[in-house]
Amino acid sequence: MDTQELLYQNCTVWAVSTSNWTGSDRLKAEDLDKSSEDIPDIFKLGSKSLIPHDLRLKLNSPRQQVQALMNRIGRQFLPHLKGVYVVPNNNLQLAREGIQLIQERQQAIVEDLIANKEQVRYEMGDKYPQLYNAEWPSDEKIRNSFNVRKLVFTVTGVEMNEADPDDLIKAKQEFQEELKVAYDELKEEILREAHTAIIEVCEDITKKILETGEKVTETTLKKPKRIIEQYMNVAGLFDSADIQSKVNDLRSAIEHAEAKELREDWEVAQGFARTLRSLGDNIGDLSGINSEGQRKRVLKREVE
C-alpha cells in the first residue's frame, strides 16, 4: 500500500482557520497632536489599540490553541499549507471536541468583552485621552468577527476518467506523481522527526542520571510522555507496527517510573537508564538516524 493509500485509510485532513477582531482603530494624525499635513507622504500611520494588551492576547489566543491541539493529536499536512493538518482516525473525536472547546472559550471571552465594553472604553480613555473618541464596531460586528472554522476531508488525488482527452490524462498523471512525491517526502520527514524526538529524550534522561547527576523530576518525565503521544499518532498514520511496538515499550518504562524513586534509589535509576539506553538504541537502529541525523547509534555510555 503506497503512502497516499495509507493516509486515505488512516486519517482525515483538517483545514482550520481562525478570525478575530484586532481590538484596534486607525491611527489619525490628530491622535499625535499633528495635522495630516504634518505627516510626510513617505510615512503611513498604523493603528491604535482600543483594548488592553492582555485582553487582546486572550481574544486572539485561539490561533495558537488550534496549532497546539492539532500538532499534539495530528501533524501539519504539507509544509507550505498553513492551518492544514492530518489527524489519525482514532483522534478524530479529540480534534472535534478540542476545536469546539476552543470556540466555546473564545465566545465566553467575547461576550464578556461586549458586556463590559463601556467600562473598557472608559478605562482606556481615562488612561489614554486620545481614545475618548475612538470608533468601536457594534456588538454584533465584534461578535461576528470571531470564529474558528474547520473543513474535514480525506486524502486523495486527481482521478482520471475514460472520457478525458489524452492531454488531460497526461496532466493528471503528472499531478498524481507530484502528489505521490510530496506524500512520500512528508512520510519521511514525519518519521524522521519522530525518531529523532524519541532518541533525544532517551539520551537526555540517560545523561541526567549517568553523567550530569541532575535531578529527575516529574517535569522531566512529562516531556517523553508528550513525545510518546505524538509519536504514536504519527506511527499510526503509516501503519508502522515495528515503531509502535518500540514506543509502547518506552511508554511502559516511563509510565512506571517515579521521579522520587529515581532520585533516591540508585539501583532503580541505573535500571531505568539501561532501559532507556536500550530502547533509544533500538529505535536508532530501526530508523538509521540519531539525534544529529548522522550516526546510527546514540547512547553508547556503559552503565557501571
- The HSE-up count of residue 26 (CA atoms within 13 Å, CB side) is 4
141 shares a domain with 203 = no
- Per the listing, cell 485509510 goes with 9
126 shares a domain with 9 = yes
What is the tally of structural domains in the chain? 2
Distance CA 94, CA 98 (A): 6
171 inside domain:
no
146 inside domain:
yes
Distance CA 161, CA 19 (A): 39
Cβ pair 109, 142 in contact under 8 A:
no
135 shares a domain with 69 = yes
9 inside domain:
yes
In three-state form (DSSP H/G/I as H, E/B as E, the rest C), the secondary structure along 179-209 is: HHHHHHHHHHHHHHHHHHHHHHHHHHHHHHH
Apex 72 CA angle, 67 and 73, nearest 5: 105
C-alpha cell of 116? 463590559
198 shares a domain with 140 = no
158 inside domain:
no
Q: Which of 123, 153, 183 is the last residue of a domain?
A: 153
Each residue's pLDDT expressed in tens, for the chain with a length of 304 residues? 677 777 778 888 999 999 999 999 888 888 788 888 888 888 888 888 999 999 999 999 999 999 999 988 888 887 777 889 989 888 999 999 999 999 999 999 999 999 999 999 999 999 998 888 788 999 999 999 999 999 998 877 777 787 888 888 888 888 888 888 887 887 777 777 777 877 888 888 888 887 777 788 888 888 888 877 777 777 777 766 666 777 787 788 788 788 888 888 888 888 888 888 777 776 665 455 444 444 343 333 333 3
182 inside domain:
no
203 shares a domain with 275 = yes
203 shares a domain with 78 = no
- Residue 101: how many other CB atoms lie within 10 Å: 12
Cβ pair 153, 250 in contact under 8 A:
no
247 inside domain:
yes
pLDDT at 112: 96
Q: Which of 153, 173, 207 is the last residue of a domain?
A: 153
199 shares a domain with 145 = no
104 shares a domain with 237 = no
For residue 273, count CB atoms less than 10 angstroms from its CB and return exposed for 0-12, middle for 13-18, buried for 19 or more.
Answer: buried
Range of the domain at 35: 3-153
Q: Which of 153, 173, 206 is the last residue of a domain?
A: 153
175 inside domain:
no
188 inside domain:
no
Say how far residue 237 (Cα) sits from the centre of its chain: 16
